[in-house]
Structure 1
Amino acid sequence: MPYRPTHALLLLIGFALALAACSRIDLAYRNLDRLVPWSLDDYLDMNREQKQLLDERLKAHLAWHCKTQLPGYLDWLDRVRLMVANDAVTDDALRQRTAEARQAIGRVAEQITPSASELLRGMSDAQVAEMRRAFHQDIEQRQKAYVETPLPEQIENRAKRMRKRLEPWLGELNADQRQRVMSWSQALGDQNRQWIANRAHWQQQLVLVMDQRATPSFEPRLAQLLQRKESLWTPEYRLAFQNSEQQARSLVVDLVRQSSPAQRQFLQQRLGKVRADFSELKCLKSP
């Protein structure tokens, strides 16, 4: 699915945000193959053979990811920690770290595309119809939650969500930092509208591809959806995304600049804990 740039940039203060629902990184990572199907179940009801195929492929991809990708994440975390320690959190540095994170996401997308193609090609017409209905419901729910509320409420809610994401990494925000988060949220305006419209556009493209799953064009078109989704963005969302990335980098730079020595120490400790948890994963040590 299309991702919001703010979420991607928050990787800069810890890869553990991707596993924020779990208190122990090692436990969450070992069970990703069980957690991922829940997201698919939101959109379609898989039969037993499909669930078995998904489970097998997820286990294989998770093993690949741990052996080949996690070592690079450890190096990436070291660069983030050094950036904070050297008071070098700048716009250019954030651009580089974000580009590295995006490259890592791209490698995962390339790796899983053949499995996704095999799984989706085997979907029945009834399952595709179910997916279409689920997508429609998904957009309706997001419209109600993020767009139909008055803009001032959207801005306040967005600021609250950001403060909630930041405080586990920086501790309690001071008054200047809370105000900076609010100004960041205000600068994004009604970007929720562009984000959801782009999400709906991506879903519509996937449904169109699914209608062609028996043709030779299916795999390359699915690969574009999974690996090069930026090429399918709406013009409005492309502009909103660029603005959102710029605003997010500026926010991170200012929050670190406004942080106290205790907050920076807290951040370093949390980043160190994340690195230690990942480095202790058994899959990295097994033959």
Structure 2
Amino acid sequence: MSRWLTRTALFIAVLLTLTACSRVGLAYRNLDLIIPWTLNDYLEINGEQKDWFNERLKQHLSWHCTTQLPGYLDWLDRLKTMVQTNQVTDAALQQRTQEAKAAIAETAREITPSAIQLLQGLSDEQVADMDAAFVKDQRKRQEEYLKPSLQEQIQARSKRMEKRLNDWLGPINEAQRQRVMAWSTALGDQNQQWIANRAHWQNQFSQAVAQRHSPDFPQRIEQLLVNRESLWTPAYREAFSKTEAQARSLLIDLLADSTPPQRERLLKKIDGVKKDFSDLKCLKSARS
């Protein structure tokens, strides 16, 4: 049972993190955040650009609601069944994760042409501001995640995971807390690879946007937004594979040590996410 809870919590947490919001409805209204760069954080767009992008976003949302959301609901049902029937395995968790990644990639692919058009219309000043925002972001993350000692990084990572688990499972017990610490310790200096790879992606994005009027610009942006894993640094690619394996192992062990109230809470959380999606007006209209 613990394994199911862990995998379930991880997958939904990943999904909601990618939509950059813990409330599904609000996240859905900001579908542009699914792509791996946050428009509002790095770009200052003018009124005309904002009006154009918002109109395009409405079209994307309509497409997403009618073609993608039903699949999300089915995915949540499969996840819930895994928990209810005690059929959460490492292979099953990997399958659910791959399904989620495929869904996110499909949405990013749908949005990318609009992103390309918007980026091609940026002024030199807007591009300079975006580059400056990337530099600021890199400094901020280095200060927060790399300046502390390795032991402090491990402690902070453990606390962040405990907070997420408390939301999905309720208060965790001492055995679970120790397992979380062991997981965080095993990741070691993962922060270093993560931030280095993030800076690597941002630098490539800046280089591409600087050449936004070149014939191969659309292909470069599609790779950056849709196939970004192909551009990962070798060190991060290796670290990410280990991180995913460690996360699955953690979830499996936590669920093994879970209590009936924790499992009940997890199932209710899954139902809550499903209800948030099901209650969206666009989905109701599409089904009527």
TM-score by length of 2: 0.90
Query: Per-residue displacement from partner, 1:159-199 (whole Å, max 9, x unpaired)?
Result: 11111111111111011111111111111101101101000
The Cα of 1:262 is off from its aligned counterpart by: 1.5
| Structure 1 CA distance for aligned equivalents of residues 194 and 153 of structure 2 | 13
1:247-266 matched pairs, under 5 angstroms: 247-266=246-265
Query: Residue 12 of structure 1: CA displacement?
Result: 4.3
CA contact (8 A) 2:105 2:226 kept: yes
CA drift of 1:17 comes to 5.4
Please provide the CA RMSD for this pair: 2.4
Q: SS at 2:71's partner residue?
A: helix
Give, in whole Å, the separation in 2 of the partners of 1:147 and 1:7: 28
Taking the aligned partners of 1:241 and 1:193, their CA distance within structure 2 comes to: 12
- Establish whether residue 178 from structure 1 lines up as the match of residue 183 from structure 2: no
Matched residue type, 2:175: D
Counterpart position of 2:3: none
Aligned equivalents of 2:159 and 2:143: distance in 1? 18
- 1:209-228 equivalences in 2 (<5 Å): 209-228=208-227
Count of aligned pairs:
280
Q: Which runs of no fewer than 5 residues in structure 2 stay unpaired? A: 1-5
Which of the numbers 30, 33, 46 marks the counterpart of 1:32?
30
2:66 paired with 1:67: yes
CA contact (8 A) 2:112 2:225 kept: yes
Distance 2:253 2:55 in 1: 45
Aligned partners of 1:151 and 1:190 also within 8 Å: yes
1:11 partnered with 2:16: no
Aligned to 1:267: 266
TM-score (norm 1): 0.91
Cα distance in 1 for residues equivalent to 2:160 and 2:168: 14
Q: Structure 1: any 5+ residue segments left out of the alignment?
A: 1-5
User: CA 1:170 to 1:61, structure 2 compared with 1: closer, same or farther past 3 Å?
Assistant: same
- 1:255 shift after superposition: 0.9
Letter in 2 for 1:10: L
**Following TM superposition, by how much is the alpha carbon of 1:32 offset from its aligned partner in structure 2, in angstroms?**
2.3
Specify the alignment match of 1:149 in structure 2.
Answer: 148
Per-residue deviation at 1:44? 2.2
Q: CA deviation at 1:11?
A: 2.2
Q: How does 1:44-63 map to 2 (within 5 A)?
A: 44-63=43-62
Q: Aligned AA for 1:32? A: N
Query: Secondary structure, in 3 states, of the residue corresponding to 1:185?
Result: helix
